[in-house]
């Protein structure tokens, strides 16, 4: 195949150009390659990290995966609070298209004046301005339809409270950042709030995610919180309370409904209240969860505890006769009197007629320490174990400094203070076999063992006395309710004003149990400063108790324990011509 011709040396091929030129070209190209290789080494090895980073900045993005805040549910799974993403409107002032007609429409949709809107857009140096956070879904859509340049939307979680003002004090609310500010939202903020996750992705130039890089940190949603509240009971309690406060032209009112068997709070309502979604003009009056943050002198509602203690220690029985004539007695320089003088009363009647003199006579037989211990064991002077922000402990002074007159006044509810929640809780002692179970705002599923306070028989006897209070000859016949037997005790206390008592300002209280033979609920009602003529607890608070008991027992599906005359028309009688 090969012939021995040496082409290289053929004279025909001898180039007229000098050899060094081709060598120079080769050398130059080689040098260029070396340059390239050097650059490659520089990029790939020496400054690799820097270029990697720069590249990633251009296409990799870290996306936040927002966690849902847990919902708040009532005992039956009804939503009391839930977070929904809603549009928030923001703008880049510099880019905003300042067409007056469009801006006017925008201002209207945002619910602000054009002047305010222009003020927000005034500062052109800013690159980000919230126009309005958390607007309605429909308004968001309309704003989007306006297509104003430089105005954008972002989804933010907003808390929704379907039950509105009825459950406002229990549930509380969150701020614009979805963090709890009041009520259960604040108490269980950590549990409700989840942990945001994140993931790293590669996006193409259209902004589409094309690849996930590395590990994804999954968001942890907040836990749903199931309260012990029953939304129906809560509503009825709020409704009746509101009606009563308005009827009696009172300053405020509270009602607490407890499940006697489990210590669960079925309802906790205060009036005035507020709508959690609209908090623009909130006053402290509306915000106050009075049932827990206000303590007051409980007045006569304390008497059953004194009688209970006296019977428990065997000092008296239900039939022991007490002389209360002439309706007044002196202790030291002070005089204690009954509003209506009675003569000889049995212990049962002392409760039924709410005799101060009778109660004091029984109380003075007991050492201060025993009274103090009993008050403490039913929870007075201690913070209730409900996890509410701002719950007060009330006032119960140590027994060592009690003067006799103080011990006497305390027996009928002056000189110590309790919150309505504490009062309702204490009354569950009579509803049970004399023991006290802890309160709970969350649904209780396990059976509870209570701390004994009184003997079972004492609790039953006191229950009977409480029943008589609501019967004929008692102080609170208005507490009766159709179909269910009830029992309770009224209290009417002068309000404290500075160091003394206001003569014309009262607080009507009623605390009671139903059905009285086998109590299921304890209800406490407080009406603050009724000023429409009636002020006795039996006239102001007892009717609220009656209606609340009626509705609560019906909602809980408890059959009436008293016979009622049925008004049911079971058969249609044909009319005759």
Partner 1 sequence: MMRMNLVLLVGLVLSALYLVNVQYESRHLFSELDRARALAHKLEVENERLQVEKRAQATSARIESLAKSRLHMRAANPAITTYVTYTPSAADASDARAPANPLSVGRVK
Q: Which residues are catalytic?
A: 300
* Candidate residues 162, 404, 456, 473; the one interacting with partner 1 per rule CB under 8 A: 162
**How distant, in Å, are the alpha carbons of 262, 298, 442, 483 from that of 557?**
17, 31, 21, 13
Q: How far is the CB of 201 from partner 1 (least distance, A)?
A: 8
Q: How far is the CB of 56 from partner 1 (least distance, A)?
A: 16
Question: Per-residue x/- marks for partner 1, 184-203, CB under 8 A?
Answer: -----------------x--
- Establish if 144 lies at the interface with partner 1 (CB under 8 A): no
Tokens of 560: 């009436």
Q: How far is the CB of 339 from partner 1 (least distance, A)?
A: 33
DSSP string, 96-140: ----HHHHHHHHHHHTS-HHHHHHHHH-TT-S-EEEESS--HHHH
Question: Applying CB under 8 A, which part among 70-78, 296-304, 385-393, 400-408 lies near partner 1?
Answer: 70-78
* Candidate residues 60, 78, 92, 275; the one interacting with partner 1 per rule CB under 8 A: 78
- Rounded-to-integer distance, Cα 151 and Cα 349, Å: 75
* Candidate residues 67, 69, 72, 82; the one interacting with partner 1 per rule CB under 8 A: 82
**CB closer to partner 1 out of 187 and 550:** 550
- Establish if 342 lies at the interface with partner 1 (CB under 8 A): no
Question: Applying CB under 8 A, which part among 231-239, 333-341, 401-409, 471-479 lies near partner 1?
Answer: 231-239
Q: What is the DSSP letter of 454?
A: S
- Establish if 163 lies at the interface with partner 1 (CB under 8 A): yes
The residue behind tokens 């009827």 is: 247
Query: Bridge-partner residues for 254, per DSSP?
Result: 270, 526
Using CB under 8 A as the binding rule, the residues of this chain from 461 to 520 that contact partner 1 are 482-484
Question: Applying CB under 8 A, which part among 370-378, 409-417, 508-516, 565-573 lies near partner 1?
Answer: 565-573
Using CB under 8 A as the binding rule, the residues of this chain from 248 to 277 that contact partner 1 are none
Tokens of 531: 């000023």
- Establish if 246 lies at the interface with partner 1 (CB under 8 A): no
* Candidate residues 60, 79, 139, 331; the one interacting with partner 1 per rule CB under 8 A: 79
Q: How far is the CB of 239 from partner 1 (least distance, A)?
A: 7
* DSSP helix, strand, coil percent of the chain (3-state; round to 5): 35, 25, 40
Q: In terms of Cα–Cα distance, which of 489, 511, 458 is closest to 352?
A: 489
The helix (H) or strand (E) run that includes residue 192 is: helix 189-192
* Candidate residues 77, 214, 398, 404; the one interacting with partner 1 per rule CB under 8 A: 77
**How distant, in Å, are the alpha carbons of 1, 17, 20, 23 from that of 6?**
15, 20, 22, 21
**CB closer to partner 1 out of 88 and 301:** 88
- Establish if 545 lies at the interface with partner 1 (CB under 8 A): no
Q: How far is the CB of 387 from partner 1 (least distance, A)?
A: 24
Q: Are 263 and 443 in contact (CB under 8 A)?
A: no
- Rounded-to-integer distance, Cα 260 and Cα 520, Å: 5
Q: How far is the CB of 223 from partner 1 (least distance, A)?
A: 12
Q: How far is the CB of 379 from partner 1 (least distance, A)?
A: 30
Q: How far is the CB of 200 from partner 1 (least distance, A)?
A: 13
Using CB under 8 A as the binding rule, the residues of this chain from 84 to 143 that contact partner 1 are 84-85, 137
DSSP string, 512-550: EEESSSS--EEEEEEEE---SS---HHHHHHHHHHHHHH
- Establish if 57 lies at the interface with partner 1 (CB under 8 A): no
Backbone angles phi, psi at 357, to 5 degrees: -60, -45
Question: Applying CB under 8 A, which part among 74-82, 96-104, 391-399, 487-495 lies near partner 1?
Answer: 74-82
**How distant, in Å, are the alpha carbons of 431, 485, 513 from that of 516?**
8, 5, 6
* Candidate residues 188, 236, 271, 380; the one interacting with partner 1 per rule CB under 8 A: 236
Q: How far is the CB of 491 from partner 1 (least distance, A)?
A: 27
- Establish if 359 lies at the interface with partner 1 (CB under 8 A): no
* Candidate residues 181, 198, 216, 239; the one interacting with partner 1 per rule CB under 8 A: 239
Strands (DSSP E) found in 364-453: 418-419, 435-436, 451-452
* Candidate residues 94, 95, 191, 204; the one interacting with partner 1 per rule CB under 8 A: 204
Q: Are 363 and 311 in contact (CB under 8 A)?
A: no
State the pairing for strand pair 252-259/265-271.
antiparallel
Q: What is the DSSP letter of 47?
A: S
Q: In terms of Cα–Cα distance, which of 544, 556, 285, 254 is closest to 422?
A: 254
* Candidate residues 25, 212, 325, 364; the one interacting with partner 1 per rule CB under 8 A: 212
Could you tell me which residues come within 8 angstroms of residue 258 by beta carbon, excluding any fewer than 6 positions away? 264, 265, 266, 424, 425, 428, 439, 521, 522, 523
Q: How far is the CB of 566 from partner 1 (least distance, A)?
A: 6
Question: How far is the first Cα of the chain from the last one, in angstroms, to the nearest whole number?
Answer: 137
Q: In terms of Cα–Cα distance, which of 119, 190, 419, 142 is closest to 296?
A: 419
Question: Applying CB under 8 A, which part among 25-33, 73-81, 401-409, 428-436 lies near partner 1?
Answer: 73-81
Q: Are 172 and 180 in contact (CB under 8 A)?
A: yes
- Establish if 64 lies at the interface with partner 1 (CB under 8 A): no
**CB closer to partner 1 out of 99 and 136:** 136
- Rounded-to-integer distance, Cα 193 and Cα 191, Å: 6
- Establish if 566 lies at the interface with partner 1 (CB under 8 A): yes
- Establish if 150 lies at the interface with partner 1 (CB under 8 A): no
- Establish if 208 lies at the interface with partner 1 (CB under 8 A): yes
Q: How many residues bind partner 1, per CB under 8 A?
A: 41
Question: What is the contact surface with partner 1 in residues (CB under 8 A)?
Answer: 71, 76-79, 82, 84-85, 137, 160, 162-164, 166, 201, 204, 208-212, 224, 231-232, 235-236, 239, 482-484, 550-551, 554, 559-560, 564-568, 570
């Amino acid at each position: 195949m090969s012939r021995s011709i040496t082409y290289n040396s053929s004279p025909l091929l001898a180039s007229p150009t000098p050899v060094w030129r081709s060598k120079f070209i080769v050398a130059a190209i080689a040098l260029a390659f070396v340059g390239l290789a050097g650059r490659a080494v520089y990029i790939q090895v020496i400054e690799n990290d820097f270029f990697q980073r720069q590249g990633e900045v251009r296409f990799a993005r870290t996306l936040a995966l927002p966690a849902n805040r847990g919902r708040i549910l009532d005992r039956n799974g009804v939503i009391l609070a839930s977070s929904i993403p809603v549009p928030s409107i923001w703008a880049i002032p510099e880019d905003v298209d300042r067409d007056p007609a469009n801006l006017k429409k925008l201002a209207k949709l945002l619910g602000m004046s054009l002047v305010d809107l222009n003020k927000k857009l005034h500062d052109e140096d800013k690159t980000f301005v919230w126009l309005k956070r958390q607007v309605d879904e429909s308004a968001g859509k309309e704003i989007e339809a306006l297509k104003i340049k430089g105005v954008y939307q972002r989804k933010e979680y907003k808390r929704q409270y379907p039950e509105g003002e009825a459950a406002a004090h229990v549930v509380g609310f969150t701020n614009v950042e979805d963090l709890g500010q009041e009520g259960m939202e604040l108490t269980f903020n950590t549990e409700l709030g989840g942990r945001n996750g994140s993931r790293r992705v590669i996006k193409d130039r259209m902004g589409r995610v094309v690849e996930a890089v590395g590990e994804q940190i999954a968001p942890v949603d907040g836990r749903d919180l199931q309260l012990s509240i029953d939304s129906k009971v809560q509503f009825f309690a709020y409704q009746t309370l509101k009606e009563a406060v308005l009827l009696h032209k009172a300053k405020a009112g509270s009602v607490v409904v407890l499940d006697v068997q489990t210590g669960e709070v079925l309802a906790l309502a205060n009036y005035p209240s507020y709508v959690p979604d609209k908090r623009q003009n909130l006053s402290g009056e509306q915000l106050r969860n009075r049932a827990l943050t206000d303590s007051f002198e409980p007045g006569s509602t304390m008497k059953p505890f004194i009688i209970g203690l006296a019977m428990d220690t065997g000092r008296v029985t239900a039939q022991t006769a007490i002389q209360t004539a002439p309706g007044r007695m002196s202790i030291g320089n002070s005089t204690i009197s009954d509003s209506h003088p009675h003569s000889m009363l049995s212990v049962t009647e002392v409760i039924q007629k709410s005799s101060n003199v009778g109660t004091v006579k029984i109380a003075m037989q007991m050492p201060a320490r025993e009274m103090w211990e009993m008050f403490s064991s039913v929870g007075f002077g201690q913070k209730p174990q409900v996890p509410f922000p701002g719950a007060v402990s009330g006032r119960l002074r140590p027994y060592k400094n009690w003067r006799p007159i103080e011990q006497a006044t305390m027996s009928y509810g002056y000189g110590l203070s309790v919150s309505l929640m504490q009062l309702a809780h204490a009354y569950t002692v009579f509803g049970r076999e004399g023991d006290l179970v802890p309160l709970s705002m969350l649904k209780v599923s396990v059976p509870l063992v209570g701390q004994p306070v009184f003997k079972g028989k004492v609790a039953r006897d006191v229950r009977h006395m409480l029943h008589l209070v609501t019967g004929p000859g008692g102080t609170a016949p208005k507490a009766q309710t159709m179909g269910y037997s009830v029992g309770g005790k009224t209290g009417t206390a002068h309000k404290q004003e500075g160091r003394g008592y206001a003569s014309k300002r009262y607080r009507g209280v009623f605390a009671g149990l139903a059905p009285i033979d086998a109590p299921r609920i304890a209800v406490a009602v407080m009406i603050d400063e009724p000023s429409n003529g009636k002020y006795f607890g039996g006239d102001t608070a007892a009717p609220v108790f009656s209606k609340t008991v009626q509705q609560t027992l019906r909602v809980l599906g408890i059959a009436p324990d008293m016979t009622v005359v049925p008004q049911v028309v079971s058969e249609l009688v044909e009319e005759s011509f």
